[in-house]
């Protein structure tokens, strides 16, 4: 009995203490108007539980090597990512294959066609003087150079070609590149680095786009060939960037835009360049040998001295009917590229016979200024022939060697527009033996200008060639687009 009384007394004492704790003022709480007692007791209980859980060791699965069966099962379940994406119908498109020189006339599938797909502006492909020049260079130098310019790849004809280009354009010096696109790939990153600012036209071709990407600079695009947009862009950059005076700043444009056939208003660009203290890089790939009285390009066309521009680049695979590219400008600009331009430093130099062909092409151009007159007359004749074509507008400049036909009414998507343009090009080639191509772009090309049919006019085209092309395109366009529009 005494033992039972002791236990009962202990329990009663404990209950009294618990009741005291729960009834204490500090142990009461009011939540949403309701009195809740004993929250301290609950909190202490939760703290004890948390401490208990933290003191426990975390569970770790037993360490053991995978069995061969388990490894085989994992291997069977693993599906690797494809090395390349699966080919769709668009990727499987096979363009026509030329079976002869890409002159004003060429052969496709054994049939002679009129060629408006090659940028043979002066009609020099197959010119006898170019062939003789290449034959002599091949006999003297062989085919390739087997080394970069800085590592025993410089041949005297390279220096002759650089001097000839500089003399023709009236600049202090020039530098040759082995490939036309590598000129832009290399020249832009050689001068513009991370943190610098480049203002570029939204319609520049992919070669320039890649050069902008490789430079890692801050790139701002302005509306295509829109000087108000360029002015506003330069004003915003100059007013909002406090470090603008410490950064290198460039405007990058094409003389004749490959993606539209428009001509850049160089006189206005120079005014904006001088006002906002930017440098200008001008790509003359489609204007060199074409614009100006003597074919010296956009600078001659607008009467702007070449020294007003900081960097001029051009591909030699168009008007000069050779290959490679060049950059021309001041001696400092050229010497910097000989040390810092990846396409010059690391690529094998231009095959000597191509440099020899470029020199000869410039000689022919100077000796035969009528080639430029003939080209301009051909451009005007094609414009007249296509002036009332159904479903298209001529988006290019009337003096541009690229006559660009743009759909008046889009079908709603780039893919549908491209299919429509390819159908027209296919019918023109199949039924009338006129070779034209849509401005198809790769998945890497970020240009968002409308697609169209691009015709490269040549001084080698005859009046009958131009008449045939315009009549064929008008007939097929009316057939394909008449009902749609």
Cβ(330)–Cβ(407) below 8 Å? no
pLDDT at 254: 97
C-alpha distance from residue 98 to each of 105, 395, 435 (Å): 10, 28, 10
C-alpha distance from residue 323 to each of 171, 196, 337, 351, 357 (Å): 21, 31, 19, 9, 9
Show pLDDT as tens, one digit a residue, over the chain (485 residues): 555 666 567 667 766 665 665 565 555 555 455 555 555 556 777 788 788 777 777 666 667 788 888 888 888 888 888 887 777 766 667 788 999 999 999 999 999 999 999 999 999 999 999 999 999 999 999 998 888 988 889 999 999 999 999 999 999 999 999 999 889 989 999 999 999 999 999 999 999 999 999 999 999 999 999 999 999 999 999 988 778 878 899 999 999 999 999 999 999 999 999 999 999 999 999 999 999 999 999 999 999 999 999 999 999 999 999 999 999 999 999 999 999 999 999 999 999 999 999 999 999 999 999 999 999 999 999 999 999 999 999 999 999 999 999 999 888 888 889 989 999 999 999 999 999 999 888 878 888 899 999 999 999 999 999 999 999 999 999 999 875 55
pLDDT at 440: 83
Helix 128-141 and helix 352-367, axial crossing angle in degrees, nearest 10: 150
Question: Closest by alpha carbon to 177, among 196, 158, 190, 203?
Answer: 158
Question: For 89, how many CA atoms within 13 A lie in the half-sphere containing its CB?
Answer: 3
What CA–CA distance (Å, rounded) separates 248 from 228? 22
Cβ(298)–Cβ(284) below 8 Å? yes
CB pairs under 8 A, 24+ apart, for 369-373?
369/293, 369/294, 369/295, 371/122, 371/123, 371/295, 371/459, 372/122, 372/289, 372/290, 372/292, 372/293, 372/294, 372/295, 372/459
- Quickly count: other Cβ atoms within 10 Å of residue 126's Cβ: 15
């Amino acid at each position: 009995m005494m033992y039972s009384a002791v236990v009962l007394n202990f329990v009663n004492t404990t209950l009294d203490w618990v009741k005291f704790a729960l009834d204490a003022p500090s142990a009461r709480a009011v939540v949403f108007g309701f009195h809740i007692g004993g929250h301290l007791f609950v909190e202490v209980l939760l703290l004890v539980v948390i401490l208990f859980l933290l003191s426990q060791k975390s569970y770790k699965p037993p360490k053991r090597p995978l069995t061969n069966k388990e490894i085989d099962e994992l291997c069977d379940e693993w599906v690797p990512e494809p090395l390349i994406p699966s080919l769709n119908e668009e990727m499987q498109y096979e363009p026509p294959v030329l079976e002869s020189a890409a002159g004003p006339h060429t052969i496709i599938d054994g049939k002679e066609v009129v060629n408006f797909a090659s940028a043979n502006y002066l009609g020099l492909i197959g010119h006898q003087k170019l062939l003789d020049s290449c034959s002599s260079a091949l006999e003297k130098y062989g085919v390739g150079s087997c080394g970069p310019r800085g590592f025993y790849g410089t041949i005297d004809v390279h220096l002759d070609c650089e001097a000839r280009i500089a003399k023709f354009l009236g600049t202090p010096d020039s530098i040759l590149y082995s490939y036309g696109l590598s000129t832009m790939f290399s020249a832009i990153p050689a001068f513009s680095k991370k943190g610098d600012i480049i203002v570029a036209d939204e319609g520049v071709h992919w070669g320039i786009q890649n050069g902008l990407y490789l430079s890692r600079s801050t790139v701002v695009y302005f509306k295509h060939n829109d000087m108000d947009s360029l002015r506003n862009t330069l004003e915003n950059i100059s007013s909002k960037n406090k470090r603008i005076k410490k950064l290198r700043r460039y405007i990058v444009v094409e003389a004749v835009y490959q993606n539209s056939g428009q001509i850049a208003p160089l006189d206005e660009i120079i005014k904006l360049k001088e006002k906002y203290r930017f440098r200008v890089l001008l790509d003359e790939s489609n204007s060199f040998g074409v614009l100006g009285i003597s074919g010296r390009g956009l600078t001659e066309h607008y009467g702007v001295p070449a020294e007003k521009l900081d960097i001029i680049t051009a591909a030699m695979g168009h008007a000069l009917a050779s290959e490679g590219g060049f950059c021309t400008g001041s001696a400092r600009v050229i010497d910097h590229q000989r040390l810092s331009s990846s396409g010059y430093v690391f690529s094998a130099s231009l095959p000597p016979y191509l440099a020899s062909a470029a020199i000869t092409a410039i000689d022919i151009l100077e000796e035969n200024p009528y080639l430029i007159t003939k080209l301009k007359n051909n451009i005007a004749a094609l414009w007249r022939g296509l002036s009332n074509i159904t479903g298209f507008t001529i988006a290019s400049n009337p003096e541009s060697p690229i006559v660009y036909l743009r759909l008046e009414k889009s079908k709603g998507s780039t893919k549908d527009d491209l299919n429509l343009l390819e159908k027209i090009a296919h019918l023109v080639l199949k039924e009338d033996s006129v070779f034209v191509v849509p401005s198809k772009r790769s998945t890497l090309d970020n240009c968002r200008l409308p697609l169209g049919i691009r015709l490269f006019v040549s001084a080698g085209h005859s009046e009958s060639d131009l008449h045939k092309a315009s009549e064929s395109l008008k007939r097929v366009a009316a057939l394909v687009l008449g009902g749609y529009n």
